[in-house]
Amino acid sequence: MFIVWGPMRTLLYNDAYAFLLGPKHPSALGMPFFSVWGDARNDVAALFDRLFGGTVIDLDDISISFDREEGTPEAHFALSYTPIRDHGNKVVGLLCIHSETSDRVPGKLLQPSAHKRLAQMFEQAPSFIAVLNGPEHRIELANAGLLKLVGNRSIIGRTVKEALPDAVAQGYLTLLDQAFGAGERVARTAARYAMEAPGEGVKELFFDFVFQPITDGVGQVTGIFVHGSDVTERVHDETVLRDRQTHLNEENADLGRLVTERSAQLLAKEALIQTVYEHSSEYHIVVAQVHDGVFRLEEVNPAALKLYKAARDAVIGRTIDECLSPADAAVVNAHLTACLKANAPYQYEFVYEGNVIEGIASPLPSVRGIGRQIAVSARDVTERRNLEEQLRQSQKMEAVGQLTGGLAHDFNNLLSGISGSLELLKTRKAQGRLDELDRYIAAAQGAAQRAAALTHRLLAFARRQTLDAKSTDVNRLVAGLDDLVRRTVGPSINVVIIAASDLWRALVDPNQLENALLNLCINARDAMPVGGTLVIETSNHWFDERTAAEHDLSPGQYLSLSVSDTGTGMSSEVMARAFEPFFTTKPIGVGTGLGLSMLYGFARQSGGRVRIQSAVGQGTKVCVYLPRDLGGADKAEWSVDSEPLQIGQSETVLVVDDEPTVRMLVTEVLKDMGYNVIEAKDGVEGLKVLQSSQHVDLLVTDIGLPGGIDGRQLGEAARGCRPDLRILFITGYADIPGGGYGDANADIQILTKPFAMQELAVRVSTLMKTARAT
Provide the β-strand partners of residue 82. Answer: 95
Plot region of 183 (φ>0 → left; ψ -120 to 50 → alpha; else → beta): left
What pLDDT, on the 0 to 100 scale, is given for residue 304?
A: 80
Q: Count Cα neighbours of 483 within 13 Å in the Cβ-side half-sphere.
A: 9
Residue-wise DSSP of 481-510: HHHHHHHHH-TTEEEEEE--TTPPPEEE-H
Please determine, for residue 395, whether its predicted confidence score (pLDDT) is greater than 70.
no
Lowest-confidence segment of 263-267, 434-438, 461-465 by average pLDDT = 263-267
Please determine, for residue 462, whether its predicted confidence score (pLDDT) is greater than 60.
no
Mean pLDDT score, 379-400? 71
- List, in sequence order, the alpha helices (H) in 495-571: 510-526, 545-550
Mean pLDDT score, 693-715? 90
Residue-wise DSSP of 149-172: HTTS---TTSBHHHH-HHHHHTTH
Q: How confident is the model at residue 266 (pLDDT cuts 50, 70, 90)?
A: very low
Return contacts of 238-244, CB within 8 angstroms, 24+ apart. Answer: 238/87, 241/269, 241/272, 242/87
What pLDDT, on the 0 to 100 scale, is given for residue 106?
A: 45
What pLDDT, on the 0 to 100 scale, is given for residue 396?
A: 62
Q: How confident is the model at residue 122 (pLDDT cuts 50, 70, 90)?
A: low
> Mind listing the pLDDT tens digit for each residue in 268-327?
444 444 554 555 556 666 676 766 678 888 888 887 888 778 888 888 888 888 888 888
- 575-612 burial string, b = 16+ CB within 10 Å, else e? eeebbebeebeeeeeebbbbbbbbbbbbbebbbbbbeb
Please determine, for residue 54, whether its predicted confidence score (pLDDT) is greater than 60.
yes
Please determine, for residue 680, whether its predicted confidence score (pLDDT) is greater than 80.
yes
Please determine, for residue 535, whether its predicted confidence score (pLDDT) is greater than 90.
yes
What pLDDT, on the 0 to 100 scale, is given for residue 140?
A: 85
Of the ranges 379-393, 555-569, 598-612, which is most confident? 555-569
Please determine, for residue 743, whether its predicted confidence score (pLDDT) is greater than 50.
no
Mean pLDDT score, 201-211? 84
Lowest-confidence segment of 151-160, 371-380, 394-403, 473-482 by average pLDDT = 394-403
What pLDDT, on the 0 to 100 scale, is given for residue 605?
A: 79
Q: How confident is the model at residue 640 (pLDDT cuts 50, 70, 90)?
A: very low
Quote the pTM value: 0.34
Mean pLDDT score, 446-473? 66
Helix (H) or strand (E) segment spanning residue 194: strand 186-197
Please determine, for residue 508, whether its predicted confidence score (pLDDT) is greater than 70.
yes
Distance between the two ends of the chain, CA-based, in angstroms? 96
The one-letter amino acid at 469? A
Average per-residue pLDDT in the chain? 79
